[in-house]
A and B are shown apart, each in its own frame.
Chain A
Amino acid sequence: MSVLEIKNLHVTVETEQGVKEILKGVDLTIRSGEIHAIMGPNGSGKSTLAYSIAGHPKYTVTEGEILLDGEDVLAMSVDERARAGLFLAMQYPVEIPGVSVSNFLRTAKTAITGEAPALRTWIKDVRESMDNLRMDASFSERNVNEGFSGGEKKRHEILQLELLKPRFAVLDETDSGLDVDALKIVSEGVNRAHKANDLGVLLITHYTRILKYIKPDFVHVFVAGKVAEEGGAELAERLEAEGYDRYTKAN
């Protein structure tokens, strides 16, 4: 059983107009096996939270802490965080010219586990996960995310989630841009990883439709850089019906 704790997190970015505070005291605790959904208006800071957990250099933590089983995550480099068991499925996955998917996956797996995976089982695992995500075998030889459609990029993120077996995953709008079939396929991938590894999930989304496939234990409403309200799955239904007016007006 692991726990990821975010305490009073304040984060700024450098903008052309100067330093801007985006996260204004985020508190959030996720335990192994729990699924937390985060919903909130555009620009409220959801991706900023995701990137801050992963350690993107663009974001500066000015106050607060992130702890993984009591260990100071903020003191770790980006790759150390990944090796400690944190995973970020990005809203906009990056294209990497010249690096094939198969080479990338093997390198990442080796880095995470500290040793090269046994070739035969690895190839089998990759093929199986790709089959499950309905990704054509030809993707292995293509360059990472290069020329992938939006939906293909998202499947590729979940493929990594399944293969790298992190302890906690932040999924930043993994459902955006997916057609109905793809949404189901990707959700199943998340559920498999959740079940197999007792994964803790932080699911950032704008839509309740993904929550029909991935059942959240908690829903957090994220507004203006912090959690404005917390509840169970029923809170998502209410947001769908009422929108964020109630919270934004209060601000």
Chain B
Amino acid sequence: MSQFPNQHGLTEHSHGAVVPLQIRIDRPKSTSVSDFPAISKTQDLWRYLDVEQLAGLDADVLGEYKEQVSYTSQQGLSISWIPSTDARVGSIGIPEDRVAAAAYTNASETLLVEINESLSEPATLSVTGTSKTASALHIFVVTKPHVEATLVLDYRGLGVLGENVEIAVGDESRLNLVSVQTWDKGSVHVSAHYAKLGRNSLLKHTVATFGGDLVRVTPISTLSSPGAEVEMNGVYFANSGQHIENRPFVDHAAANCKSRVTYKGALSGDKAHTVWIGDVLIRVAAEGTDTYELNRNLLLTDGTRADSVPNLEIETGEIQGAGHASASGRFDDEQLFYLQARGVSEAEAKRLVVFGFLLELIQRTNVPEVIESLSKVLEEKLGVN
């Protein structure tokens, strides 16, 4: 099962024993900033970050994103701005941390994305930052029952953005949601996703992060209707000075649901830092749960740091299967030598290994434009440290 053989400095973490969560259910939730303490490294939620890195996203007052967001219309899709006082806003999930609360309070309008019919083409929401003013955005995605659609959230430009994204997947629906972060240097993006899955629905959720000084995504999938299935994928590449943090959480609240969490990342260059905290909670009612979560990191150079912590909390014994694995391995001199001894240059060897490692997850999005543009981004990132 290990991707990395032991002889290459593997730190393998893979066992059936339960690592207790700090009781995820009891985590405080609020839409009000003042309900959360000032951010500090002593809090588990923020322990890997310095508050300065948040570039003001924890403040009481933020700007708002509106003209920065663009989209094209298409048959079966309706997109509009609604007041955030609308009853739907907050119905899928509310903030569990201070930055999300600040974004929630400051986004006076919410972008409502209604998928009413199956979409023949992927829909794209483009968010293009233009300044370092700390700002807020709230997106609410809802699909009707029995539809199938792909939605791409595409973040780029220079921005400092705090965000909440609610995702309501209708009964028997299949939603493929891809969030792509290729921000410019200097950007900060902290985004909380809340997905609730209807009966027998399927959500494929991908977080692909390549650009930005700090990008932190905390996606929550709530499986509260029987037969729902979620596939949460993540792919990331941190260069020198970048901090990429992913904290996926699957909440198994109903019976016979399935979840697969797969995040893979590469790190290259001094102080490239990635954090992956994968939480899975299997509640008493969630009999017949089938879950597996995995995180792999590939360290391409010295001076990088990959933190990886899987947490599994199980409240019922009647489950199908629950497993997790996490490993960080080096692309080491022996691997490089082996490839070079077959005529492959050093640069090409790295390319081969990184593409082999990350491309699979990019391809799983099934969105040709995303696959093509991220392949290019990967090429570029391999060229720098």
Contact = CB atoms under 8 A, between A and B. Distances in A.
B343 A79 contact: yes
Interface residues of A, number: 33
Interface string B321-349: 00000000100011101111111111010
Nearest to A84: B343
A56 interface: yes
A54 interface: yes
A94 B343 contact: no
A96 interface: yes
A100 B342 contact: no
Contacts, number: 86
B356 A79 contact: no
A54 B354 CA distance: 24
A90 B342 CA distance: 11
A96 B339 contact: yes
Contacts of B348: 107, 111
By secondary structure, the A interface counts as mixed
Given A97-B4, A98-B3, A107-B352, A82 B335 contact: no
Given A79-B346, A108-B343, A112-B342, A98 B353 contact: yes
Contact of A111 (B8, B343, B353): B343
Contacts of B5: 95, 146
B337 A98 contact: no
A103 interface: yes
Q: How large is the interface on B (under 10, 10 to 19, 20 to 34, 35 or more residues)?
A: 20 to 34
B353 A96 contact: yes
B343 A112 contact: yes
Nearest to A78: B340
Nearest to B296: A97
Given A95-B5, A107-B344, A164-B342, A78 B337 contact: yes
7 contacts: A54-B337, A79-B341, A79-B345, A83-B343, A90-B341, A94-B335, A146-B3
Interface of A: 54-58, 77-79, 81-83, 87-88, 90, 93-100, 103-104, 107-108, 111-112, 143-144, 146, 160, 164
Which 6 A-B pairs rank lowest in CB-CB distance, beginning with the nearest? A98-B356, A98-B357, A111-B343, A78-B340, A108-B342, A82-B343
